[in-house]
Structure 1
Amino acid sequence: MPRTKTNPERSFATSFADEGPRAQAATGLVFLWAGLLYGAQTLAYGAIDAGMLTLTGVGHLILTIAPTIPFLAVIAFVSWQGRTSQKGVGTRALTACYTSAGLVNLVIAIAFGVLAARKGNMTIWLLYPIVICAMQGAAWYAACAIRRKVWLGVVSAGWFAVTVALTLLVTNVQVYLLVLGLALWALMAVPGYVLMRRAAKEPSHG
């Protein structure tokens, strides 16, 4: 019998084709809601800083926690849906990429939060989203390298551009929050929706 050579690139591509649509749909759903919820929250903070919106102490508390509750529900839904799926190597690569970025974001949030509280300096806390935007750029670049899709690279470039913009605007809080909020909608919610739409059109090979 003739021997069949194993092509690693073909195996990778086949695995990603099998699991790609499910992974894209789940990732897209998470990004869509994260971008919508936290983008709205950021713009609300910008409106407060600009004097366009006034909240009481309870209102501030609600604004602080409101996006997290539905977002955790989305995470729980995605986790429940994917509990029985067998993930291919491509899916595991992307999952590891985004999970590691998420863990780094959490650690950085704690570090910047503690430092800002100790120093009583809001500017320190404003540096945190800048780092997060850079991490988003890196994560989308990794996705671009894995999927080899130009539009993913465009999203990555957008996050890096926002990183630079926020750095220049760190002393102008109102514009800073406006740019960040719009970036969350344009570079997280919209790509999340695109991922979901593409997943719906991309057949899963069983």
Structure 2
Amino acid sequence: MTDTESAREDLAYLKTLIGRDDAGEVWRFTGRLFAAGGFLYGLQCLFHGAQILGFNPPGPITLLFVAGPTVLFLIYLTISIIRVGKDLKPQGTTGRAVSAFFSATGMINLVFLVIFLPPYLQSGDFRIWLFYPAVVFAVLGGAWYAAWQMRKKLWMLGTALGWMVSAAAMGLTRGQVVYILICGLCLFLFMMLPGIAMARGKGA
């Protein structure tokens, strides 16, 4: 093998390393969580919307929809973490950046919880708590917009705009029946469906 051929092979190998921006299993893992969370909590929102419109189910069914989504999601999360384990590590510069966006979003949401929950508990005014989902949706829109900037996938831009428009609509309809319906549909359209795409490796 000549020096020229060896140099070409080395260059090709380096291009492979540099060009590898696969988010790996962490991308699909996050997608599965998004899909599960979007479905469960979207269903919960639509159930509460039906209650506001006059649907009056038996107590056990109401309790199932109040506590069930969180219980099921935590069980699914625990099982998923155990199954994936050490593979939860994004690969490539872009993969790590996109993962960082969503990790930061999760941490910000916890801060918002601390900001909005105490005033709601102290005042008992549920309208204060209704700001929390709207603000979280706006932040998720920002995270998806950043992901679009990195990946340039059109469906990511659509997801980002969907979160942002929904957040604005929820802010304008706070305290109205349509608020909870917008919330539920948003979770289905912009959390569950993108989650399914991510779980299948789309955009990774």
TM-score of the superposed pair, with normalisation by structure 1: 0.82
Which of the numbers 128, 141, 145 marks the counterpart of 2:149?
A: 145
Are 1:77 and 2:79 an aligned pair? yes
The count of corresponding residues between Structure 1 and Structure 2 is 195
Are 1:183 and 2:182 an aligned pair? no
Q: How does 1:5-84 map to 2 (within 5 A)?
A: 11=17, 13-14=19-20, 16-17=21-22, 20-56=23-59, 60-84=62-86
Tell me, which stretches of 5 or more residues in structure 2 are unaligned? none
What SS does the aligned partner of 2:174 have? coil
Q: Cα RMSD over matched residues?
A: 2.8
Are 1:126 and 2:130 an aligned pair? yes
Q: How does 1:104-123 map to 2 (within 5 A)?
A: 104-123=108-127
What SS does the aligned partner of 2:45 have? helix
Q: Contact 2:30 / 2:198 at 8 angstroms: preserved in 1?
A: yes
2-side partners of 1:171 and 1:157: how far apart? 23
The Cα shift of 1:146 comes to: 2.0
Q: Which has the higher contact order (CA 8 A, sep 6+)?
A: 1
Code of the residue aligned with 1:65 in structure 2: it is A
Code of the residue aligned with 1:69 in structure 2: it is V
Q: Contact 1:137 / 1:155 at 8 angstroms: preserved in 2?
A: yes
Code of the residue aligned with 1:176 in structure 2: it is Y
Change (3 A) 1:196 1:87: closer
The Cα shift of 1:194 comes to: 1.6
Structure 1 match to 2:175: 171
Structure 2 match to 1:93: 97
* 46-55 or 85-94, larger mean C-alpha shift: 85-94
Tell me, which stretches of 5 or more residues in structure 1 are unaligned? none
The Cα shift of 1:117 comes to: 1.6
Give identity over the alignment, percent.
Answer: 29
Change (3 A) 1:11 1:62: same
* 117-126 or 141-150, larger mean C-alpha shift: 141-150
* 124-133 or 40-49, larger mean C-alpha shift: 40-49
Q: Contact 2:25 / 2:90 at 8 angstroms: preserved in 1?
A: no
1-side partners of 2:47 and 2:90: how far apart? 38
The Cα shift of 1:53 comes to: 2.8
Larger radius of gyration: 2
Code of the residue aligned with 1:120 in structure 2: it is G
1-side partners of 2:179 and 2:99: how far apart? 30
2-side partners of 1:61 and 1:163: how far apart? 27
